[in-house]
């Protein structure tokens, strides 16, 4: 199914303000469009009240995930800096866990740059580290940072 252009616009609007450029983690529009074209990727847009953002409504946070065999991978997850620490990230993770369960996933995976403050949010939702890719991410200043893979079993 084709993703509405407006939804990609709203994902990109959050993307453009949410990721620190120093880490080069944000995706460009083409990457998002290509992921959604394949058909096994899912997104969730949330408004400032923490509810699903309806068509035409401003989104302040989103997740993008990919379904695999009995697992789901969180590819991207962000909240507008002006709306942080209000529980919106928690709502998005909670939605993702229940959506992944309904899609048949037995575990949710994600990769995170070492020392990302999001770690406490992941751990409080049942994620734990299962592996490290040394120097996986390259910052814009050339320094490298490990990627930590986290897993959350889905009951
Ligand atoms: C990670 C992110 C999505 C969290 O969104 P959020 O809406 O602020 O998260 P919540 O308000 O739901 O946070 C819930 C809890 O998680 C923890 N937490 C969230 N952000 C935190 C931070 N920066 N530092 C420490 N703890 C944090 C806290 O325990 C928080 O509860 P509290 O505010 O009552 O202390 C947001 O910081 C973000 O967009 N970061 C940039 C993009 C990014 O790094 N994404 C993750 C890639 S792996």
pLDDT for 74 equals 98
- Kindly report the CATH number assigned to the domain that includes residue 113: 3.40.630.30
Nearest residue (by CA) to ligand 1, atom 20, is 118
Q: For ligand 1, is residue 18 a contact (CB within 6 Å)?
A: yes
**Span 66-85, pLDDT tens digits:** 999 999 999 999 999 999 99
| Per-residue tokens: 79 | 């909240």
Query: What's the 46 CA to ligand 1 centre distance in angstroms?
Result: 15
> What does the pLDDT read at residue 135?
95
Distance 67 CA to ligand 1 centre (A): 24
Other beta carbons within 10 angstroms of residue 120's beta carbon come to 9
From residue 10, alpha-carbon distances to 39, 62, 91, 132 in Å are 19, 9, 18, 32
Per the structure, the complete domain to which residue 61 belongs is given by 5-153
Task: Compute the radius of gyration of the chain from its Cα atoms.
Answer: 15
Summarize the confidence of residues 142-150 as an average pLDDT.
Answer: 96
Is 43 strand, coil or helix? Answer: strand
Asked if residue 112 has its Cβ within 6 Å of ligand 1, the reply is: yes
Q: Per-residue pLDDT tens for 6-55?
A: 999 999 999 999 999 999 899 999 999 999 998 899 999 999 999 999 99
Q: How many domains are there within the chain?
A: 1
Q: Is 84 in the pocket of ligand 1 (CB under 6 A)?
A: yes
């Amino acid at each position: 199914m084709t993703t509405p252009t407006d939804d990609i616009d709203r994902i990109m609007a959050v993307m453009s303000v949410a990721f620190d450029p120093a880490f080069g983690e944000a995706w460009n529009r083409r990457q998002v469009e290509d992921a959604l074209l394949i058909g096994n990727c899912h997104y969730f847009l949330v408004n400032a009240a923490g509810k699903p953002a309806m068509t035409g409504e401003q989104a302040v946070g989103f997740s993008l995930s990919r379904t695999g065999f009995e697992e789901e991978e969180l590819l991207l997850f962000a909240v507008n800096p002006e709306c942080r620490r209000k529980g919106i990230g928690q709502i998005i993770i909670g939605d993702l866990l229940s959506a992944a369960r309904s899609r048949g996933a037995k575990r949710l995976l994600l990769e995170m740059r070492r020392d990302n403050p999001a770690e406490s949010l992941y751990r409080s939702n049942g994620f734990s580290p299962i592996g490290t890719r040394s120097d996986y991410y390259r910052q814009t200043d050339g320094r490298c940072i490990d990627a930590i893979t986290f897993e959350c079993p889905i009951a």
